[in-house]
Copies of this chain bind each other. A is one copy, B any other.
Amino acid sequence: MTHQSLHWEKEMWAAGHRVTRQRALILDAVCAADGHTSIGEVYARVRRVDTTIDRSTIYRALHLFVELELVLAADTGSGDILYEIRKLQPHHHLVCRDCGGEQEIGDAALRMMFDDVSRQHGFRVETDHLVMFGLCHECVRAREHHVVPGT
C-alpha cells in the first residue's frame, strides 16, 4: 500500500472534511501511478472501478488533496499539471528539455540554498517540491558530439 492509508483519513477529518468512497478511489488512483500522473489518467483509473463518478469530482478532490498537501501538483512546463502522492521527505524533480526525462533528487542541495535566501532576504522558503528544467547528462553529451567544437 503506497499511500498512508491510515493517515489521510485522519488529516481529512482533522481539516473538517469527510472521508468518502470517491475520495478514497481518487487517492488510490494517484498512488497507483507511483510517480507523476495527470488528471486524465486519474479519471480513467477511477472509472475502471466506478463508472458513475464524475469529472468534476476528480477536479474537486484533487484540489482538496493539494490544499491539504496530501498530493503535490507540479507544472512540468508542457502545459498540463501533474499530480503525485506526497512522499515523506521533500524531493524535487529535474526535467530534461531535450529528452523529456525526469529524475528525482533529494533536498540536501536545495536546503543550503534556502538557508542562503533566508539569510539574505529574510524569507523562509518552505517549498518542498520544485521542478527545474535543464539538460540531463546524456543530452549534454549528445549535444557536445553534434555541435562542431570551435564554434
Binding site for B on A (CB under 8 A): 75, 81, 94, 96-97, 103, 105, 109-110, 112-114, 116-117, 120-127, 130, 132-137, 140
Contacts and interface: CB of A to CB of B under 8 A. Distances in A.
B109 A123 contact: no
A125 B117 contact: no
A110 B113 contact: yes
As for how many copies of this chain the complex holds, the number is 2
A117 B109 contact: yes
A126 B133 contact: yes
A11 to B, nearest CB: 18
Given A75-B75, A124-B140, A117 B130 contact: no
Contact of A124 (B81, B127, B130, B134): B134
